[in-house]
Amino acid sequence: MSETTSRIIKIATKKRYKNKYHWTDYFSYFYLFLGVLLMFGPVVWLGLSSLKTLAGIQEYPPTILPLSQIQVDVEGYDKPLPIFNVTQEDGTIKQLAQIKRIGINAKMVDPLNPGETVKVPIDKREKIREFKIQWQNYVDPLRKYDFLLYFKNSTFITVVATIITLIINSMAAYALSIYEFRGKNFALVFVIGTLLIPLTIILVPVFYVVANFGMINSLWGVILPGAATPTGVFLLRQYMLTLPRELIEAARMDHASEWAIYWRVVLPLSIPAIAVLAIFSIMWRWNDFLWPLIVLSKSEVYTLQIGLNAFHGELTSQWNYVLSMTMVTLLPIAIIFAYLQKFITTGIASTGMK
Amino acid sequence: MENIRNQTKIFFLRILNIPFAFLMHAIDLIMWPIQKIIGVRNMPYIFLLPNLIFFGLFVIIPLGANFFFSLSSGDELLFAERELPTTKQYDQLFDCESYLNPNTCTEDFFWRGVYNTIFFVVFQVGLMIFFSVLTAVILNKKIIGRGFFRSVFFFPVLLSPVVVGLIWQWILLKNGAFNAIIESYGGDKVSFLTDPSWAMASVIFVSIWAHMGFYTLIVLAGLQAIPPNLYEAAEMDGTSRERIFFRITLPLLMPNLLVVFILASIKGVQTFDEIYVLTGGGPGTSTSLIVQYIFTTGFASSGSVQNFGLAAAASMVLGVVLLFLTLMQLYFSRNKESKHQEI
């Protein structure tokens, strides 16, 4: 009996080669766990901390959840005082408010009896906390500072630039994929050539061109220089090359103009590629930093990225506002990613661009 | 339910379509006569025109103008008010007693930037490729929750440099979360961003954190392109996993890795934004790279005059490095394609 049982157990637990646990399997899960902590942790930590009070953010060592210390108004003191649970000499616990800390002792007062102060060693007291979400962090910067305006500027740049990019790039891609014409190869090489020249090596002269058009400190100065993208033209062209030519011939038979063929036949069929380019463009524009930093120097035309950076530079101690506005800056992209994750990753993997 | 959702979707798409169709019809009013005049044969030029104008204005003309700026001196942006021709900028940039010691150079800031960039790129690219391959190999296994893990590693790629810089600046503060973790394990606090010997390491770490997902994705695509029958054959022979990795996976991944390596180097040499937000190039000049030099000399030097010529000359030097890297990329990716055809 026991022999059969043990044999059954042996058969049940026996694994074929494929399913045998190897040290690399354990390592993989360990690595992935660590990866989740390191990759996702900072953003979660940012989200949680953006709901804390300024005092809670500056607390060291920090608490994970937005637990802030309870404060009370005590008669005779201007500011609300934080309350502690103090273990007294006879072992009982009493709630006292702290006036200030002097070395290893704290000067404390009983809120019920504000006339008398006591000295308590700091290791005998413990903070009383409550779960409190500080929505003020999100409301204040939008009201007191110009973040709403920055948000509007960023949205304007992102939307308009993406529309322009999509239209002119798809027009060029249409010409380079559907037609045969003289100079086509030259145009293709020309487009590839621009791929070799990143903005970082022509900062000064592009600034010169933009200044000549009077677009310094204008949102158009940010939108126009990056509107034509070689990667975009290529992505769309590769896709349009796969469209059946018969459709275009049929449209021509029906006396459609070339422009009508472009927008009524080719564009609707290229929606998948256009969507990929649209997502990339939104990402590029929303996250853009170096060029707006150069062109925009007045605060009324700041984008969210520039405004956030400037705000942080001016008020280094206001981490509660900085954190909440960082959250606001990353949220739109995070939401897009959550919905279109598969789309984005396959888009990147198949084009090798970012 | 599904039906209703689809119908609302179509409804909204139709509404969105109205301004689009209106715009397109309006353009057609111009395009139709043009087509009548120049003929169908010449229409592609019209379609190419807007893109070419943009490329011309914002890429080709600036490229020529960059030579001009680097070869002329003066504080003015206007062409007419600059002195021509002069090699003053290049003389100033390369005026060094010894190129190995930035302190002996007139433009010591530039040379520090050059050495910092080399140091940064070597470590950032090297470590990033190592971790990308490791992550990609693990994500390519049959593990539970693969999609979830893949998006976790990819997620930081979408964050803007300002967001990345601010998150990490805050976490790496002297009284930040990282130091709290270190102290809870009995270590000593480290000033990650203000100690010159730590600042570069922190910057490299943050940069890897932000960009690793992108390269992981490309390596993963390369791994999935390896024919599975090779693995099946090896498994049938009872080959150990270590051997499979070093004899099959790695050699077949090599062409892919080479392209990733060059791509990462091209991006790495141009790094600016995250570092600018994270440390501002400091403390001192310990984390300032070449692009930071260009930006500061050309656009942000407080106090002294903006020196467009010097910035343009430094851009030319960076341009030569990038051209070399890009040509290498084109060469190797062509090689890679021909190898694939052989297989």
| Average pLDDT per 10 consecutive residues for chain B, totaling 343 residues | 76 83 89 88 91 92 87 74 75 78 79 91 95 92 85 89 92 85 85 88 94 91 88 86 88 87 90 91 86 87 69 89 84 62 41
pLDDT band at A10 (very low <50, low <70, confident <90, very high): low
Answer whether A228 sits within 8 Å of B28, measured CB to CB: no
Same-domain check for residues A220 and A172: yes
Answer whether B162 sits within 8 Å of A171, measured CB to CB: no
Tell whether A104 lies on the interface with B, counting CB pairs under 8 A: no
Chain B residues within 8 A of A18 when measuring between CB atoms = 235
Q: What are phi and psi of A332, to 5 degrees?
A: -55, -45
User: Domains in chain A: how many in total?
Assistant: 2
Same-domain check for residues A186 and A222: yes
Tell whether B299 lies on the interface with A, counting CB pairs under 8 A: yes
Same-domain check for residues A96 and A165: no
pLDDT band at A166 (very low <50, low <70, confident <90, very high): very high
How distant is the Cα of A142 from the closest Cα of chain B, in angstroms?
Answer: 18
* pLDDT confidence of residue A347: 73
How distant is the Cα of B154 from the closest Cα of chain A, in angstroms?
Answer: 8
Q: Are B205 and B239 in contact (CB under 8 A)?
A: no
Domain end: A283, A299, A314, which one? A314
List the beta bridge partners of residue A59: none
Answer whether B48 sits within 8 Å of A187, measured CB to CB: yes
Quote the CA–CA distance of A164 and A160 in Å, as a whole number.
6
Residue A199 placed within a domain: yes
At residue A187, does pLDDT exceed 60? yes
Same-domain check for residues A258 and A301: yes
Answer whether B151 sits within 8 Å of A345, measured CB to CB: yes
Q: What are phi and psi of A121, to 5 degrees?
A: -60, 140
Residue A35 placed within a domain: no
* pLDDT confidence of residue B71: 84
10 Å CB burial of residue B227 (0-12, 13-18, 19+) is: exposed
Tell whether A278 lies on the interface with B, counting CB pairs under 8 A: no
Taking CA–CA distances from B327, the nearest residue in chain A reads: A196
Same-domain check for residues A192 and A306: yes
- For B105-342, CATH gives 1.10.3720.10
At residue A153, does pLDDT exceed 90? yes
Tell me the two tokens of residue B178: 């990282």
Give the CATH number, domain containing residue A120. Answer: 2.30.30
CA A212 to each of CA A127, A187, A205, B173, B243: distance values in angstroms, whole numbers, following the listed order: 61, 27, 10, 43, 62
Give the CATH number, domain containing residue A221. Answer: 1.10.3720.10
B residues 69..128 contacting A (CB < 8 A): 69, 77
* pLDDT confidence of residue B164: 94
Chain A residues within 8 A of B162 when measuring between CB atoms = 287, 289, 305, 308-309, 326, 329
Q: Are B223 and B255 in contact (CB under 8 A)?
A: no
Answer whether A228 sits within 8 Å of B162, measured CB to CB: no
Chain B residues within 8 A of A196 when measuring between CB atoms = 322-323, 326
Residue of B270, B273, B308 lying closest to A198 (CB–CB): B270
* pLDDT confidence of residue A139: 85
The C-alpha angle with vertex B24 and arms to B20 and B26, in degrees rounded to 5, equals 120
Same-domain check for residues A78 and A165: no
Chain A residues within 8 A of B160 when measuring between CB atoms = 286-287, 289, 305, 329-330, 333
Same-domain check for residues A156 and A103: no
Least confident stretch, A202-211, A300-309, B66-75, B81-90:
B81-90
* pLDDT confidence of residue B341: 44
Residue A319 placed within a domain: no
Residue of B150, B221, B322 lying closest to A198 (CB–CB): B322
Comparing CA positions, the residue from A326, A333, A324 lying closest to residue A308 is A326
Q: How high is the ipTM of this complex?
A: 0.86
Answer whether B31 sits within 8 Å of A190, measured CB to CB: no
Tell whether A200 lies on the interface with B, counting CB pairs under 8 A: yes
Q: Which domain range does residue A106 map to?
A: 71-127
Same-domain check for residues A196 and A281: yes
Helices and strands per DSSP (H, E), number in chain A: 16, 8
H helix intervals, chain B:
2-38, 43-55, 61-70, 88-93, 108-139, 146-154, 161-171, 177-184, 196-224, 228-236, 241-244, 250-269, 273-278, 290-295, 308-342
Residue A354 placed within a domain: no
- Domain positions in chain B: 2-89, 105-342
pLDDT in tens, A326-337: 999 999 888 888
* pLDDT confidence of residue B129: 95
Select the residue from B36, B47, B66 to test the A interface by mutation, using most A Cβ atoms within 10 A.
B47
How many Cβ contacts (< 8 angstroms) between chains A and B? 257
Same-domain check for residues A161 and A98: no
Q: Are A141 and A310 in contact (CB under 8 A)?
A: no
pLDDT band at A131 (very low <50, low <70, confident <90, very high): confident
Tell me the percentage of chain A whose pLDDT exceeds 90.
27
Tell whether B168 lies on the interface with A, counting CB pairs under 8 A: yes
Same-domain check for residues A227 and A306: yes
Same-domain check for residues A108 and A187: no
Comparing CA positions, the residue from B125, B161, B221, B150 lying closest to residue A284 is B161
Comparing CA positions, the residue from B134, B170, B180 lying closest to residue A42 is B170
* pLDDT confidence of residue A2: 64
- Inter-helix orientation angle A304-314/A271-287, to 10°: 20
List the beta bridge partners of residue A175: none
Tell whether A133 lies on the interface with B, counting CB pairs under 8 A: no
* pLDDT confidence of residue A354: 62
Residue A335 placed within a domain: no
* pLDDT confidence of residue B215: 92
Same-domain check for residues A121 and A149: no
Tell whether A32 lies on the interface with B, counting CB pairs under 8 A: yes
10 Å CB burial of residue B297 (0-12, 13-18, 19+) is: buried
